[in-house]
Structure 1
Amino acid sequence: MVSFNNVRAVLFDLDGTLIDSAPDLAAAANAMRAVRGLEPLPFERYRPVAGAGARGLLGVAFGLTPDHDHFPAMREEFFASYESCMMERTHAFDGVAELIDTIATKGLLWGVVTNKATRFTAPLTSAIDLFRGAGTIISGDTTPHCKPHPAPLLEAAARLGVTPSQCIYVGDDERDMVAGRAAGMGAIAALYGYLGADTDLSAWPSHGAIKSPGELLNFLGTV
């Protein structure tokens, strides 16, 4: 197992890594189906694509792809639907609060780097006590680029006052690992997140993987 001995900060993806927002995302998509007289789809259909946002949810709910003429309007409808329910069922994954407490006890900084827009990130992180200790929260529209581009991760490191090599980035999507590597950070895959059944983890450029939040501590070396 890779061990990082010079870590000063841990950065996390949001959905599928720190919080389980899939139930609210699924509810938003099913609400759109209900408006159209369609039956709700089971949650299990939605969960694997929750990390893909509107693209993934609309793909499951309506078979809609981003190149469809109706996609932009449907995406905005989905955003509005999600805003109306996004804090009803969303919660931190089991073990996340304890992990964050331990990170703080070790004197490490921590923050969030997500592709979720500030429109959603700000109210979510304000409503959940867990995020009061975050040193920085970078949304998908904070920088000109979003993951897998390294810019958001580099911005987070700069705001925390640490170098990229002093950071570990944890996420549940291949783009998180690509971004972490490109930023010069340790990249750890969260296997408890929104991974699809066909995910080929061997292709991910990660330094390691965790099956539960607490396992991240195994990568922090002697910190």
Structure 2
Amino acid sequence: MCSPFYEDPTRIARVLIARPAPFRPDWYGRREEETTILKNDTLKIDAAIFDLDGTLIDSIAAYVELAEEMFRRLHLPPVSGKVILERIRDTKDNWANLFAVEEMREGLMEEAAAIYKEISPRLFTADVKMLPGSGSTLRKLSAAGISIGLVTSTHSRSMDGKLYPLRENGLMELIGATIAIEDTQRIKPHPDPLIECAKRLGVSPERSIYVGDSHSDIRAGKSAGMKAIGVLTGMDNYETLKREDPYMIIDSVAHLSRAVHY
């Protein structure tokens, strides 16, 4: 039996336009006065390296919607957005983490991969945008002569769709190096991808910052010898980030000027 998406290929577009308000973590959009800045000084750096999902692009709701569609089409009991994020928080494109042990069955991962391959390009292209202020921050950093890199746990095969918001806004020309999950043997929270990114940019990790939205980003940044800066626009809340003792926590990339001199 064909899936509803094959029977009506326009359905996905209608779902994207007419769906309810997207899922947001409780801490998303935290008011500025609630955010604690952990350091009062500003840094002088050679490079700013960023995580992608929930840091530069507003993709968290898209992941939740994609997972919900997987559960529906795989005839599995639905789970909450919060549970979905808990399961995929470290490697969002590794859908094996999405399913509980009792939900696994023969052929499930192959079916899930097919659903992801079918839906994700349209979903991310139609629905994922730059987070407010992130584009202008990248432009200001570049204009100040600061090198810019991306480190993500996204697979290379998915990068084209993930980078669409940056291409659409003319930002890819500012990116000096992009590290996907296959580019190093170990992934975040290990420091390897960040160190590789700094190497490709031709900068010292000690003169770099790493900005991300999750505890694994903070651990990776600190392990790489970089100043790790947390943002509250993605996977983890303030308390979770603070436990990792980052250099600073800010509301979003739009407020990076509080941490970095440029």
- Place the TM-score, normalised by the shorter chain, in its bin: 0.7 to 0.9
TM-score, scaled relative to structure 1: 0.82
Unaligned runs of at least 5 residues, structure 1: none
* 2:240 paired with 1:200: yes
Q: Which structure has the larger Rg?
A: 2
Q: Counterpart of 1:99? A: 137
Of 53, 56, 64 in structure 1, the residue corresponding to residue 100 of structure 2 is 64
Structure-2 change in CA distance of 1:82 and 1:219 (3 Å): same
Count of residues in correspondence between the two structures: 218
Contact 1:16 1:51 in 2 (8 A): no
* 2:149 paired with 1:121: no
User: Which region of structure 1 is more displaced relative to structure 2, 69-78 or 167-176?
Assistant: 69-78
1:140 partner amino acid: I
Secondary structure of the 1:85 match is helix
Shift of the alpha carbon at 1:145? 1.3
Q: Counterpart of 2:11? A: none
Aligned partners of 1:75, 1:2: CA distance in 2, in Å?
A: 46
Structure-2 change in CA distance of 1:184 and 1:67 (3 Å): farther
Aligned partners of 1:217, 1:65: CA distance in 2, in Å?
A: 44
Contact 2:57 2:165 in 1 (8 A): no
Aligned partners of 2:159, 2:84: CA distance in 1, in Å?
A: 20
Shift of the alpha carbon at 1:133? 1.4
RMSD: 3.0
Unaligned runs of at least 5 residues, structure 2: 1-38
Q: Counterpart of 2:116? A: 79
Contact 1:50 1:194 in 2 (8 A): no
Aligned partners of 2:247, 2:46: CA distance in 1, in Å?
A: 17
Query: Once the two structures are aligned, what percentage of the paired residues are identical?
Result: 26
Shift of the alpha carbon at 1:190? 0.7
TM-score, scaled relative to structure 2: 0.71
- Equivalent residues in 2 for 1:201-220 (5 A)? 201-220=241-260
Shift of the alpha carbon at 1:3? 3.4
Secondary structure of the 2:245 match is coil
Aligned partners of 2:96, 2:84: CA distance in 1, in Å?
A: 6
* 2:226 paired with 1:185: yes
Contact 2:54 2:234 in 1 (8 A): yes
Contact 2:152 2:181 in 1 (8 A): yes
Aligned partners of 2:251, 2:187: CA distance in 1, in Å?
A: 26
Aligned partners of 1:195, 1:78: CA distance in 2, in Å?
A: 27
Aligned partners of 2:185, 2:132: CA distance in 1, in Å?
A: 33
Aligned partners of 1:186, 1:66: CA distance in 2, in Å?
A: 41
Contact 1:11 1:110 in 2 (8 A): yes
